[in-house]
Amino acid sequence: MPAIQIRNLVIDPPLLLAPMAGLTHSALRRTMIGFGGVGLLSTEMLSVKSLPVENPRISPYLIRTERESPLSYQLLTSNYEQIGRAIDALHALKADAVDLNMGCPSTAVGKFGAGVVLMERPDEARRIVAEARKRTALPLSAKIRLGIEANSGKLKTFCSMLEGEGIDMLTVHARFKHEPFARNPRWAYIAEIKECIKIPVIANGGIFSTEDAEKCLSVSGADGLMLGRGAVTRPWLFPEIARTVYGIDVPKRAVSLPDIYTAFIEALNADYRPIYRLGRLKAFTHYFARNYKFGHSLACKVQSSSSMDEARERAGTFFANSSKESMAATGAGVIAVH
């Protein structure tokens, strides 16, 4: 079986949803669960400072339904001092796993010494992991990039340090700090990391199809895969990879793009306060619209909407006017346009 076990958590299949700010929240997770094939869900990055004071019933970062399980919560911090309180909050929230963000390349995050900058501050990164490890018995993972620039020795030393301090699983987004998404991911570096640590290593970056998944696994030798933008665009990518790559029998479900979109809107309307809805719909539409040849038109219409109702109506008109021929090559088994 290809499943991963870290502590008492079984990740089966070894396919993980990526943390993505503004995207990986409850409504998206529900969409993913509907299709199956996800072994571990995630939140977006959560500031250790704000987390303990957020109200989980109304915070768009913390809203969660029971079906969203298992769920890993990702923490963003620049130092070890606040991690204890944040982990206490995660225990109260019944987190299934805790992930430490050591890969975010944003300048705003880096200014505070968090994200990928921690790979340049290994002593602080060590303190953060040691403190987190001391405060929780939950599975503890870290998500990194390849570093600031090519330096395999430094990268391997960093990964060994993480393992030595008690990290149970490592996810590697196979790009350097400044590399944009347009740059091909460097999966071969993950094979180098695999040589020097024993904990499960998850490969991430640039997986948009079953072919990408197969190639990434063969180049990296990774123990599992994490999908981000590919899964937002095509939520049925998880079961496709689970079936094709891991031979798992995930039941097939018809894919109706308008239905997926409507269910996403309904989840936002039902459970999120009004100010948190439209921005999240726009962020989702940016990727989801790629399923249509003229998807930029859908994205622009939703982007320029000033209310959920307006966005919904415009999207409805777009779907109604879209024929099967207007679909981009989605690769979905069964597609209903209307």
Ligand X SMILES: Cc1cc2nc3c(=O)[nH]c(=O)nc-3n(C[C@H](O)[C@H](O)[C@H](O)COP(=O)(O)O)c2cc1C
Q: Does 44 engage in binding with ligand X (CB under 6 A)? A: yes
Q: Which stretch binds ligand X (CB under 6 A): 101-109, 191-199, 301-309, 325-333?
A: 101-109
Q: Does 212 engage in binding with ligand X (CB under 6 A)? A: no
Two tokens at 96? 């299934």
- Considering only 25, 29, 173, 177, the residue that binds ligand X (CB under 6 A) is 173
Quick one: residue 95, left, alpha or beta (phi over 0 = left, psi -120 to 50 = alpha)? beta
Closest-CB residue for ligand X? Answer: 228
Q: Does 205 engage in binding with ligand X (CB under 6 A)? A: yes
**Is residue 113 packed enough to be buried (19+ CB in 10 Å), middle (13-18) or exposed (0-12)?**
middle
Q: Does 14 engage in binding with ligand X (CB under 6 A)? A: no
The answer to whether the beta carbons of residues 171 and 145 sit under 8 Å apart is: no
- Considering only 13, 14, 19, 200, the residue that binds ligand X (CB under 6 A) is 19
Q: Does 15 engage in binding with ligand X (CB under 6 A)? A: no
3-state secondary structure 77-137: CCCCCCHHHHHHHHHHCCCCEEEEEECCCCHHHHHCCCHHHHHHCHHHHHHHHHHHHHHCC
Q: Does 230 engage in binding with ligand X (CB under 6 A)? A: yes
Q: Which stretch binds ligand X (CB under 6 A): 3-11, 18-26, 30-38, 154-162?
A: 18-26
Residues 117-148 as b or e (16 or more Cβ within 10 Å = b):
bbbebeebbbbbbebbbebbebbbbbbbbbbe
CA 153/CA 18 separation, integer angstroms: 27
Between 287 and 319, name the residue whose CB sits nearer to ligand X: 287
- Considering only 143, 177, 194, 312, the residue that binds ligand X (CB under 6 A) is 143
- Considering only 25, 64, 186, 229, the residue that binds ligand X (CB under 6 A) is 229
State in angstroms the smallest separation of the CB of 270 from ligand X: 23
Q: Which stretch binds ligand X (CB under 6 A): 132-140, 224-232, 293-301, 319-327?
A: 224-232
- Considering only 3, 10, 21, 93, the residue that binds ligand X (CB under 6 A) is 21
With tokens 């460097």, the residue in question is 186
With tokens 């996800």, the residue in question is 38
Q: Does 23 engage in binding with ligand X (CB under 6 A)? A: yes
Task: Name the residues that contact ligand X, by CB under 6 A.
Answer: 18-23, 44-45, 74, 101, 103-104, 143, 173, 204-207, 227-230
